[in-house]
Structure 1
Amino acid sequence: MIKPSELQYYHLRWIAALIWSVAAFITITLYQLHADIDTDIRHHLVEQSQAATRAINKRLAELSQKTELLAAAINQKQRDDKELRHLITQSVMTTQGAHRGGVAFRKNRYSDPANPLYSPYFQKNGDNRQSQQISERYDYTLPDRMNNGPRTFWFHQPMSKGSMWMEPYFGTTANTWLAEFIVPFESNYDGQMNNGFDGIVFLNFSLNSLTKQVLNLDLGSQGFGMLISRTGQILAYPNKSVLGKDIYSLDPAEYPLLASISEQLTKGDLSTFSHPVTGREEWMVLSNIEGLDAQLGLIIDADELRTSTTSHAGYHDLIWFLSIAGLIIFVASLRFPDASRAKLRRLFTVLSLCLLSYLLLLWYQALAPKPLSKGEALLVNEESAYLAWQAQYPPGKKASSEHIHQINLTVESLDLVEADQVSIVGKIITSDQATDEPPLHINNSLNTSWSLIRESEGFQLWQFVALIKQPFDYESFPFDREVIELTMIPRPDSGYLMLVPEFDSYPSMRPEDLPGIRMAEHDFGSWKLLQSYFSYQTDKLYNGHQTVNLKYNMVIQRSITGPLISHIMPLLVVSFLTYCMLLLWTKDEKQQALWGFNTATVLQYCASLFFILVIAHVALREELNAQGVIFIEYFYFLAYLQIIFTSIGALAYTTEMKIHALEYQQGLRVKQWYWPLLLMLSLIITLLFIEK
């Protein structure tokens, strides 16, 4: 063990090198941990892709098997119209995801002279008639016409090539993309068995059902799945308005996410890109669906999964602290003194600076932006809104686009009326609605006044003034951060179930760009706006009923300048003045007379500091109207302890009491350990606050 008197500059440099080595080791370890986490996420994504592929192939195999069974049943024996229609109906109703099924005979191949083109069919959830026929609309035995006339390739290709999956097509009646399996069959309904195929049997299903299957996978709140044909047609996607469009010809300005995805389709099975709206890292994995001749794409938010997996923020703070501490120790080794007392003074200065740097680092991290609450989905485009709809509604009660009402919300003024109430002035633009009633209800408003500013064909402009009950949590003052929420639902008689932002009306949906904020200044009172974003919140009612609120969130943070001047600076001044009193401690009568050091002076001095602190402390409590103890109050308590210790120490020092820590070299140990102990206690308070 090296004594302080034997300490040399190179010892400090060795310590600095050791600290930097530890920081480098932690950095490398964290890098490896991040790499391992990314590997685990990739494995998870690939597993989800394989599970989705298996589920889709299972669905395709089930559909093709049911189609072949239907063809075998028709070929087994001659059946009348009633029996055939019953078989078709049963096949459609018992096949998961099936949309429509039917039989189409060649002309005069069925034993019913009244129906030369016998083609019965059944459509799930359709307006079915007892004697409906495909041939009622067109003659499917005519040659296929691509440009004009009805398409009949679905009949001719299987008759010449055998059983096959048809290329997915858009079903106008189903209003979705369909995949169809067709099986040709031979029969003797016309009394002949060797005259080729007599017709075809088909079953099709909605690709939208595959999307729902994919959505049941664990892809996080922002992840989703899509199907893209080999030719680039979008077959399944959260935003149904793009179904059937060519992904390569979409306007990047109108569909930025799809444009980014299209660039990744040729980069292999696993690719990485940045979300064009949020800037977050996205991963995409592709797998082939042979039966559909299409690709299944799964997209996840990598940052979301990393955050949900683990957090190493504390280790990042430690790396910064070790790097700064090593630098402080290295600088302290320069021009290192020879005297033992000067060496000790420098060592305690180094210790104090290291503790101060860590304290400031923790305070800086307390001001850093915080991630969204776990499970809270950020609404940035139609895709994220659709995923949120699916997540909010239970299975079987999915909200359709007809139940969605788009709104354009802007906030023009924020005012802190009381310690727990906020007044919000804003405007809402709605379309396809012309009533004298407000377009929505603000659930968490104590009082809301509405006025119709402008009404034109196709839209209404409303202004509202809402008084929001906002329970502010002042325990973290002056590092407190709050989220002011507007929770909105459609008017009950409007016929809508959910509200959704009109994304195209906002220049940017990044929370940092403050979408929806139209305030001249982004500061109000002692607060400043950091972020704004939309999300959904579900309120449980009774008997399984629920309502889905559109939440507009405004993240505000207290400006540190005011508390720094009015509270932190006085505490620092008191600490410095208390330290100055300690420096005046002496047994030398001449110095006592020169400095005016005596018990009465110290007590008078401490009493003055105490009353200054009490006045500031009371003003703080009255300003915040807080319940319980807040963060900065612990530093007031610490300042009280400094004053009490200084007063008691001065009494003991100037009397006949002999306390070694006070007597040794005129209280040198107390003077040396003053700042390290004070900073250590401040660190403990801060760490306990962060842990809480």
Structure 2
Amino acid sequence: MVTNDKATERYLTEYLPQHGAGYTKVPTGIFIQAVEFNGASNVKVSGYVWQRIPRDLRVKPGVVFPEAGDSYAATEKLVYEHDEGDHKLMGWYFNTEFRQLFDYGSYPLDKQNVWLRMWGMDFQQRVVLTPDFAGYPPWKIRDMTALDSKMVYGEWNPDFTAYSYLNNPYSTNFGFTKPTGISNNTPELYFNLGLKRDPRGPLYGPLIRWLFIALIVFSAMFLITVDEERREIVGFTTFQVMSFAVGMLLVIVFDQNAIREATDAKGVVYLEYFSYALYLMILMVGLNAMLLTAKIRIRALTWGGNLLPKLVYWPGYLGLVLAATLLAFF
């Protein structure tokens, strides 16, 4: 990450081939007006990008977004062009969709980094893009710079913005025999927008339903008794308990499928651990009922009229949730 011109110069001097000799540095800035997630791996970004092209150098102006659906869309809508003495200022409007890999492991308490990777338009010249820090107020350079203050984030909250560099490996020279601006040794400029998800929407709905199910399952344990006369009065049978458990499981399964569809995650996300813990508790309650109706006298179950399972129910469920939380975040 680079935060000013001095940090940029130090980084490029260290990591560019031959300490940057022979490279043309083109100041490039960006301003984001809208960000919208279209699915788990697609994000649509719109805004403005500009460059200060040195007048004494023959460099093709423009910015390429290699990870966008239309990589060259930014050069198609020239908005302004202005001569400023030793350089020419050019600005373009872009509205394109980027496909990126996001990590939803801690959903719905996750943070995402929406990055805009930028290349220069001129492949033949040894061009490296640099952040145009002069395009932003210096007293706001560490705030949410380059963002529209009226932007609508939906279920997301802004966390940070930053320019950064990254060396990306390539298995091709793009047909050029001489080094160009796009190669294994050339740092590439990124603009990063950090977002934090507002957990209230995706978290409260399933948790309230699952807590209600947990209370119902706990209440059902009071119908499980070792007293045969009382068992006949309440109509307690193993089949009825298992039917009740299946009904509760269906509600949880539907919620879990909705979570999988929202994140398209390859692994297990944090919120799913709550459902897995509830699966296990429902299974244990069903097993408890089967053991009692099978007249298998286990002292731990018959003690106090099946009191022990009632005592360990909530500590067991909350303990599983706590263990899942520690596993996900620590």
Q: Per the shorter chain, which TM-score range?
A: 0.7 to 0.9
Distance 1:496 1:411 in 2: 27
* SS of aligned partner of 1:636: helix
| Cα distance, 1:612 vs structure 2 | 0.9
2:79 is the alignment partner of 1:440: no
Aligned partners of 1:490 and 1:498 also within 8 Å: yes
* SS of aligned partner of 1:517: coil
Which residue in 2 is equivalent to 1:411?
32
| Cα distance, 1:549 vs structure 2 | 0.9
Distance 2:285 2:23 in 1: 73
Which residue in 2 is equivalent to 1:486?
116
2:202 is the alignment partner of 1:563: yes
Distance 2:309 2:260 in 1: 33
1:646 aligned partner, one-letter code: V
| Cα distance, 1:479 vs structure 2 | 2.7
2:5 is the alignment partner of 1:379: no
2:329 is the alignment partner of 1:690: yes
Could you say which structure has the greater relative contact order, defined with CA pairs below 8 angstroms and 6 or more residues apart? Answer: 2
Q: Cα distance 1:390–1:437, how it changes in 2: closer, same or farther (>3 A)?
A: closer
Q: Cα distance 1:472–1:432, how it changes in 2: closer, same or farther (>3 A)?
A: closer
Distance 2:123 2:90 in 1: 17
| Cα distance, 1:619 vs structure 2 | 2.3
Distance 1:545 1:645 in 2: 56
Distance 1:623 1:474 in 2: 10
Q: Which has the larger radius of gyration?
A: 1
Q: Cα distance 1:545–1:537, how it changes in 2: closer, same or farther (>3 A)?
A: closer
Which residue in 2 is equivalent to 1:538?
167
Distance 1:417 1:503 in 2: 30
Distance 2:4 2:157 in 1: 26
Equivalent in 30, 41, 57 of residue 420 of structure 1: 41
Q: Cα distance 1:453–1:498, how it changes in 2: closer, same or farther (>3 A)?
A: same
Distance 1:594 1:500 in 2: 79
Q: Structure 1, residues 525-571: CA drift from partner, whole Å, max 9, x if none?
A: x3332111101112345698522211101112322112212333322
Q: Structure 1, residues 250-308: CA drift from partner, whole Å, max 9, x if none?
A: xxxxxxxxxxxxxxxxxxxxxxxxxxxxxxxxxxxxxxxxxxxxxxxxxxxxxxxxxxx
Which residue in 2 is equivalent to 1:453?
79
* SS of aligned partner of 1:514: coil
Which residue in 2 is equivalent to 1:205?
none
Which residue in 2 is equivalent to 1:672?
311
Aligned partners of 1:522 and 1:528 also within 8 Å: no
Distance 1:393 1:563 in 2: 45
Aligned partners of 1:522 and 1:529 also within 8 Å: no
| Cα distance, 1:651 vs structure 2 | 2.4
Q: Cα distance 1:657–1:504, how it changes in 2: closer, same or farther (>3 A)?
A: same
* SS of aligned partner of 1:447: coil
Distance 1:657 1:488 in 2: 69
Q: Structure 1, residues 18-60: CA drift from partner, whole Å, max 9, x if none?
A: xxxxxxxxxxxxxxxxxxxxxxxxxxxxxxxxxxxxxxxxxxx
CA RMSD of aligned residues (A): 3.0
2:103 is the alignment partner of 1:469: no
Which residue in 1 is equivalent to 2:274?
635
Distance 1:666 1:437 in 2: 84
Aligned partners of 1:662 and 1:668 also within 8 Å: yes
Aligned partners of 2:35 and 2:45 also within 8 Å: yes
Q: Cα distance 1:463–1:386, how it changes in 2: closer, same or farther (>3 A)?
A: same
Distance 2:250 2:184 in 1: 58
Distance 1:677 1:440 in 2: 56
Structure 2's unaligned 5+ residue stretches are 174-178
Distance 1:465 1:494 in 2: 27
Q: Cα distance 1:410–1:679, how it changes in 2: closer, same or farther (>3 A)?
A: same
1:455 aligned partner, one-letter code: E
Aligned partners of 1:509 and 1:533 also within 8 Å: no
Q: Structure 1, residues 226-273: CA drift from partner, whole Å, max 9, x if none?
A: xxxxxxxxxxxxxxxxxxxxxxxxxxxxxxxxxxxxxxxxxxxxxxxx
1:567 aligned partner, one-letter code: P
Distance 2:227 2:151 in 1: 60
1:447 aligned partner, one-letter code: D
| Cα distance, 1:522 vs structure 2 | 5.1
* Aligned residues between the structures: 309
Identity over the aligned pairs, expressed in percent? 24
Q: Which runs of 4+ in 1 moved over 6 A?
A: 434-437
Higher helix share: 1
Distance 1:645 1:483 in 2: 41
Distance 1:519 1:379 in 2: 23
Equivalent in 252, 256, 273 of residue 613 of structure 1: 252
* SS of aligned partner of 1:390: helix
Aligned partners of 2:52 and 2:90 also within 8 Å: yes
* SS of aligned partner of 2:119: strand
| Cα distance, 1:456 vs structure 2 | 2.6
Aligned partners of 2:226 and 2:302 also within 8 Å: no
| Cα distance, 1:410 vs structure 2 | 0.5
Of 581-590 and 462-471, deviating more is: 581-590
* SS of aligned partner of 2:19: coil
Which residue in 2 is equivalent to 1:501?
131
1:660 aligned partner, one-letter code: R
Distance 2:149 2:96 in 1: 16
Aligned partners of 1:540 and 1:547 also within 8 Å: no
Aligned partners of 1:379 and 1:534 also within 8 Å: yes
* SS of aligned partner of 1:523: coil
Equivalent in 519, 528, 532 of residue 157 of structure 2: 528
| Cα distance, 1:593 vs structure 2 | 7.0
- Normalising by structure 2, we get a TM-score of 0.82
Distance 1:385 1:403 in 2: 14
Distance 1:582 1:381 in 2: 64
| Cα distance, 1:506 vs structure 2 | 1.9
Which residue in 1 is equivalent to 2:176?
none
Structure 1's unaligned 5+ residue stretches are 1-377
